[in-house]
């Protein structure tokens, strides 16, 4: 949006060696206001049920701003702590972002209306919360 404003001011300028007369001088000031469209807002993420042999955990998302989310924390937890399983966040069906015993959190960033996670940034199409046995090491 551009907002142009014109301001007029009357100034009295006396002429030298002459009876003062009123002279009008018009001054124009232009102010430009730019409103940036929120291109770094992303839609809410949705946990995708797994199609693998791993069971699903519970996934929640926390956003920095409900109206225009630009950062997210994805949390994957196992619903039954007695099972002592690891929770894992998997992107796009085959990219294991992170896993930990019991629960795991992984952050993402919105760039140009698209969610990215990891280094280097991975474009997020789907996110799964999987449960797996702990590593034997």
Which residues in the chain land under pLDDT 70? 1-39, 136-137
The reported pLDDT for the residue numbered 25 is: 52
Look up tokens 């206001």; give the residue. 33
The reported pLDDT for the residue numbered 17 is: 57
What residue segments make up the domains of the chain, in order of their start?
58-132
By the 8 A CB rule, do 129 and 47 touch?
A: yes
Look up tokens 């007369």; give the residue. 21
The reported pLDDT for the residue numbered 36 is: 42
Looking at the DSSP bridge assignments, the partners of residue 132 are 86
List C-alpha distances in Å: 46 to 3, 7, 38, 91, 132: 40, 52, 21, 12, 21
- pTM tops 0.85, yes or no: no
d(CA 14, CA 72): 66
List C-alpha distances in Å: 43 to 22, 38, 70, 88: 62, 12, 9, 22
The reported pLDDT for the residue numbered 48 is: 95
The reported pLDDT for the residue numbered 19 is: 52
The reported pLDDT for the residue numbered 15 is: 52
* Kind plus residue range of the DSSP H or E element containing 55: none
């Amino acid at each position: 949006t551009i907002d142009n404003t014109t301001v007029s001011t009357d100034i009295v300028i006396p002429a030298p060696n002459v009876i003062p007369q009123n002279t009008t001088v018009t001054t124009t000031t232009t102010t430009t206001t730019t409103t940036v469209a929120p291109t770094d807002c992303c839609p809410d993420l949705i946990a995708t049920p797994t199609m693998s042999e791993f069971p699903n955990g519970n996934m929640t998302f926390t956003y920095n701003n409900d109206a225009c989310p630009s950062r997210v924390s994805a949390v994957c937890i196992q619903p039954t702590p007695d099972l002592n399983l690891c929770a894992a966040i998997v992107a796009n069906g085959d990219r294991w972002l992170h896993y930990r015993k019991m629960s795991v959190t992984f952050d993402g960033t919105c760039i140009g209306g698209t969610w990215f996670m990891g280094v280097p940034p991975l474009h997020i199409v789907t996110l799964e919360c999987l449960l797996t046995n702990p590593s034997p090491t």
